[in-house]
Amino acid sequence: MRRYQAFPVPPGKNSLHYWPRAVSPLRVIFNFLVIQLCRYLPSFPLKNFLYRNFLGMKVGRDAAVGLMVMIDIFFPQEISIGENTIIGYNCTLLGHEFLQREWRRGPVQIGRDVMIGANTTVLPGVTIGDGAVVSACSLVNKDVPPGAVVGGVPIRILKN
């Protein structure tokens, strides 16, 4: 079950044209710069400090956000990462999505001791339970129960 708010847009243009009404362009530029820096930083404590203090994310102790992870540039504050969680190389964590006639915004809650494999995309409004494992190259489009092993596009439970 995904939890998000939907915001319809007037007919004519797709919702991506309306992003400046949702968030300040200066804030998006700032977020982009911090996120780009963090994508290359090898230091987990420094990354976590920047995520917490400059982007408003909730990041647990000893969380490890891997190289090239792309955090949502519009709404990074929607993302919460639990203690001792690993986010693999080149993952994308989205707190929003733009569709043709609406855009959506919702929290991403990643529990503690979670492992998310490389090249995975997590959509807004999703909760990944404590101790879950998400295999590489997956699309997390729904909640993941605690302790489950999931994978695929879209995800399905591989082991509970």
Angle among Cα 23, 27, 31 to the nearest 5 degrees reads 115
Determine which one of 96, 120, 121, 124 is catalytic: 96
Q: What's the average model confidence in pLDDT over 46-50?
A: 98
Per-residue confidence (pLDDT) for residue 125, from 0 to 100: 98
Q: What's the average model confidence in pLDDT over 127-151?
A: 98
**At residue 1, does pLDDT exceed 80?**
no
**At residue 153, does pLDDT exceed 90?**
yes
Which domains are assigned to the chain? 5-159 (2.160.10.10)
Per-residue confidence (pLDDT) for residue 2, from 0 to 100: 86
Please report which confidence band the pLDDT of residue 134 belongs to, taking 50, 70 and 90 as the band edges.
very high
Percentage with pLDDT > 90 across the chain: 98
Q: How does pLDDT run across 61-91, given as a tens digit for each residue?
A: 999 999 999 999 999 999 999 999 999 999 9
57 touches 70 (CB < 8 A): no
Please report which confidence band the pLDDT of residue 60 belongs to, taking 50, 70 and 90 as the band edges.
very high
Per-residue confidence (pLDDT) for residue 160, from 0 to 100: 84
Average pLDDT, the chain: 97
Q: How does pLDDT run across 7-24, given as a tens digit for each residue?
A: 999 999 999 999 999 999
Per-residue confidence (pLDDT) for residue 127, from 0 to 100: 98
In angstroms, the CA 114 to CA 116 distance is 7
User: Strand 102-105 and strand 96-98: pairing?
Assistant: antiparallel
In angstroms, the CA 126 to CA 141 distance is 7
Is 17 one of the annotated active-site residues of the chain? no
**At residue 92, does pLDDT exceed 90?**
yes
